[in-house]
Chain A
Amino acid sequence: MPAGLDIRLRVPTPGLLGLPWADRLADWDATEVPLRDIAVGPSRHLVRFVESDGGLWALKELPPRIAQKEFGVLRELESRGLAAVRPAGVVGQAFADTAILVTRFLQPSWQYRRLLMRLPPGAGKNVHRSRLLDAMGALLVDLHRNGVFWGDCSLANTLFSRDGQRLQAWMVDAETSEVHPRLSNGQRQMDLDIVVDNVAGGLIDVAARLGEAPSDYGTYLFEATSVVTRYQALWDIQHEEPLLPYAERYRVEGQIRRLNDLGFAVEEVQLESSRDGDDSLRLKVTVGGRRFHAEQLRRLTGLDVGEGQATDLLNDLRAFQRRLEQSGAVATDAVVARRWLTEVFEPGMARAHAAIGGVGDPIQAYADLLEVRWLLSERAGRDVGDEPALVALAHREAPIASAARMAVAETPTGQLPAVAPVEGPPDSSPAPSAWEL
C-alpha cells in the first residue's frame, strides 16, 4: 500500500471500504469494481460511478485542496437541509497528489439533457423547459437565502427529480461554492449572471444535438434570461417589507397566505413603526423552509412527501372532505384524513402505479393521475373520472404539456449498464451514451 493514503468515509459500508483506494481512480479495473456507465456530460475532472451496498456513488478525482473544500461545503449544505448531493467521503491520495470525493448519486434523479432528449418535439416542450427553469430559480433562491454562493450554477451541474407537478433541482457540483453568513448583492448578481450564461449554453447545446437550426436559438437565449425573473419573483416575495397602515394590520394574513401558497412556511412576523413617523407599520416576515403543504399533509396523514406532491395530495384530500360534507357526513380532520388514505389514496395509488407498469415512485404516479384527470376533465367540461386518465397514463398519452409527461425522464431503459473492461485509462469526457437518450 502506498504511503499518504487517507480514507475518510461517512458511510463506511463494506462495499465502499473494499474499493481499491490505493490505486488512482483512472486505473480502477471494471472486472474487479462494479463501475457503472452513466453519461454526465463533459467534466474537467475524472468522474466514475460505482454501484455498491444498494446505492450508486459518484467518485470524482480532484486536487486535494479542492476536494477537501468541496467536501466541507457539501457537509455544510447537508446540515442546513439544502438540496444538494450528499457527501459520503473524501479519500486523500497524497502519493499521487490527488484526492477522490465520494458523493451519493441521487436516485431517482436525472440530468436536464435526458428530459429534453426524450420529450417529443413540438408544442408543450417549452412548458417542460419552464418547469426546469423554475426549479433552477427556486434552488438558487434557497441557496442564496442560506448564504451559499454557487459560482458555477448550470443545468449540467444540477440534477432534477419529480415532485408533483414541479421539479426539484439538486446542486451536484460545489467546487466553486462558498458558504457565507449572508451574501452581498454583488455575490447574488454574479451568480445570476453566471446562471443565465450557463443555462443559455446548456439549452442551445441540446438544441444543436437535436439538429435544430442556430436561427432558432433566440428562444432559448430568451428563456435563459427568464431564470432571473423567476428568481427575482421568489426572492422578492420572501424579502419584501411592505408598509401597512396600523388600521389594516389584518392584511398581514394575505401576505402570509401568498407565501403559504408558494409552499413557504412563515416562522415569524414582525411589525414595526415606520421611520417616517406616520401611523404605518413595516411588515417583516421570516420565511422558513419550503415545506408548508408537506408538513400539513404529514401532520394529517403521516405521509412524508415532497412539497409539490403534498400540494396535489392535499387538494385531493380537501375535495374528498367536501364530498363527505355535501353528503351530510360530519367528521373531524383526523377521520377524514384516515378515510381519504384508505378509500381514495391507497387504491388510487395502486391503480396509477400499475397503469404505468409499476415503475418509478407510486406516489408520483398518483400525483400524475390527479393531474391528468383534472386536465382531461377541464377539456371535456365535466369530471371524466379516473378511467380515461389511467388509460392516458398507460399509453403514455397524457396531454403534451402535462407534468405527467416528464415521466419519460424517469423510465429506465434497463439496468445501469456496467462499464465494459477496457485497455488503457477511460476517457474523462465520454460521449453521450445510449443511456442518456
Chain B
Amino acid sequence: MAEITIKNVSKVYGDGYSAVDNVSLDIADGEFVILVGPSGCGKSTLLRMIVGLEDITEGDLLIGGQRVNEKAPRDRNLSMVFQNYALYPHLTIFENIAFPLRLRGVAEDEIRKRVEESAATLDLTEHLQRKPSQLSGGQRQRVAMGRAIVRQADAFLFDEPLSNLDAKLRGQMRTEISRLQRRLGITTVYVTHDQTEAMTLGDRVAVLRKGVIEQVSTPRGLYEHPVNLFVAGFIGSPPMNFLPCSVKGDTLELPFLSCPLGREIAERVADRKLLIAGIRPEHFEDAALVEDSKKEKGVSFRVKVDVTEWLGNSQYAYVPYDAPADIKASLASLEKELDSEQLRTQMIVSVDAASRIRDGDEAELWLDPSRMQLFDPQTGHNLTLLNEERDSAPPSSPTGAPSSAAARAGTTQTLAEDGATRKT
C-alpha cells in the first residue's frame, strides 16, 4: 500500500511536443483516482510515467514517499492490471494465477496462501481446480485480476482496461473492478476517455486537457461545480446545455426566457455583457408536471420542440436555438476539443417520461435557474463559483470506501483562476 505523489511533472518528447505540462497530484493511500480527458490530453502519458514506461522530463514522482523517477518498472512494485490477461487453457485456475509467482521464486506454501486468499477475494475459490473453458467471461477476467493481486503490489494501474471489451462485458467488469478496489482498499490510478467510467468508479477524478489538469474533484463536484466550460462540457451525458445569454441590470436574458440574477452574481459579472449559461438537461421539466409549490421557484417559458426521444424511464426533448456568431465559434471550438459530436446549438431538455410533449409541439417548459452556471465566453471560467468553492472539495461521493475517506477530506486540488494548482 502506498500513496503516489506527482510533483510538477512534465513530459516533453524529443520533437518538442509537450504531452504533460507541470502536473501535480497527490493520490492518497487506498484512493481510487481516475485520469480522464479527450484523446491527446496526456492522461495515458501521465499513467505511463507512473508505471515507468515513459521517462519523466521534469518533476518528481514519489511512491510511498520514495522518489522513483529513475527506477525500472518492475522495481516500482506497481501492477498494471489486465496487462497480462492471457489464460492458459490446460492449466487450472490455481496454476494460472500461481505461475508468475513461481517465476519470481516465491516459496510453495506462500504461493498457496496468496492464491487462496486472492481467490476468496474474487469469489473464485470453488473454481481453483477448474480449467478456464469452464468459467464465464466475467470469471475469466477475475482470474486475470487474481494475477495482479497475488503480486502484492503497492498500487493498481489501469490503462483503458475496458476499451477492448464488448458493451455487455464492459458493464460487468466496471462493477468487478469497483468491488475489487473497495475490498482490497488498494491505491488505484485508472485512465479512461469514457466519462461514465470516470464518474462511476473514482473517489476523485482528474480532468485533463492538453497536458494540464483542469480540475480534480469528486464525481459530484465535477458535475455540480465544474471550474470551466471544458469540464462542464466533458462531464455529463447527455451534456450540459450551453446557451448564450446577456445581462440587463439584475436580469439574465436567455434565448427563450429571462430570469432574475442574484445580486452577488450580478455584481461579479457586471462588466461582461455576453455570457454562456450552462444548464444540465435535468434542470428543466415539462411545466405541466411541476407542482404549483415548486413552480414559482423557477421560470416557465414556451418553446417549439423539434424532436422528442422517449426511453421508457426518461424522455428528452430537443429544442434548436440561434446564437450570435462569436458564441457559436467558441462553442464549436469547444466541441472539437471535447471530441464531441453533440450539436451545441440545440438544447437538450430532460422531461418526465410521463410528459405528453411530442415532436413539433409548442410546449411550456420549466427551469430551476438556481442551478444554472455562468461562464465567461473568452476565458471559459465558471463565474458562478465562489473562490472558496473553486478551491475546496465538494461533498464526498456516496460510494467512497472508508479507506479513502482521509484522502477525500484532505487533498483535493483544483485549478484556481490564476492557473496555479492549490492545495487545501
Which residues of A line the B interface, CB within 8 A? 41-42, 44, 62-63, 65-66, 97-98, 149, 151-152, 154, 156, 175-176, 181-182, 184-187, 189-190, 193-194, 196-198, 200-202, 204-206, 208-209, 214, 217-218, 221, 224-225, 429, 431-432
Residue of B nearest to A183 (CB): B53
When distances are taken between beta carbons in the complex, the residues of chain B under 8 Å from A98 are 166
Residues of B within 8 A of A200 (CB): 99-100, 102-103
Of chain A, the residue at the smallest CB distance from B193 is: A65
Q: Mark B85-120, 1 if CB is under 8 A from A, else 0.
A: 111111100011001101100000000000000000
* Cβ of A431 to closest chain B Cβ, rounded Å: 7
Tell me the complex Cα distance, A200–B89, Å: 14
> Does B167 lie at the interface of the complex (its beta carbon under 8 Å from any beta carbon of A)?
yes
- Give 17 new A-B contacts, CB below 8 A, not counting A66-B164, A201-B86, A217-B102: A42-B133, A44-B165, A63-B163, A63-B164, A63-B166, A98-B166, A151-B83, A186-B53, A190-B51, A197-B99, A200-B99, A201-B88, A202-B88, A204-B95, A205-B91, A217-B99, A224-B103
For A217, the chain B residues whose CB sits under 8 A away are 99, 102
Interchain CB contact under 8 A, B73 and A186: yes
Whole-angstrom distance between the alpha carbons of A149 and B54 in the complex? 12
Does the CB pair A190–B52 fall under 8 Å?
yes
B78: min CB distance to chain A, Å: 11
User: Which residues of chain A are near B51, meaning CB under 8 Å?
Assistant: 186, 190
Q: B55 interface residue, CB < 8 Å from A?
A: yes
Question: Which residues of the other chain, A, contact B89 by a CB distance below 8 angstroms?
Answer: 41-42, 205, 429, 431-432
- Taking CB atoms, residues of chain B closer than 8 Å to A44 are 85, 164-165
Interface of A is mostly: helix
A-binding residues in B (CB < 8 A): 13-15, 51-55, 72-74, 83-91, 95-96, 99-100, 102-103, 132-133, 163-167
Q: Is chain B's interface secondary structure helix, strand, loop, or mixed overall?
A: loop
14 examples of A-B residue contacts, CB within 8 angstroms: A41-B89, A62-B164, A63-B166, A65-B163, A181-B14, A186-B72, A189-B73, A190-B53, A200-B103, A201-B91, A204-B88, A204-B95, A205-B88, A221-B102
In the bound complex, residues from chain B placing their C-beta under 8 Å from that of A204 are: 88, 91, 95, 99
CB-CB under 8 A from B102, the residues of chain A are 200, 217-218, 221
Chain B nearest CB from A74 CB (Å) reads 16
In the bound complex, how far is the Cα of B55 from the Cα of A221, in angstroms? 30
Contact in complex: A42, B87 (CB < 8 Å): yes
Q: Select B86's contact among A62, A154, A431, beta carbons within 8 Å.
A: A154
Which 3 A-B residue pairs are closest in the complex by CB-CB distance? A205-B88, A208-B90, A186-B52
Residues of chain B with a CB closer than 8 A to A198's CB: 84, 86
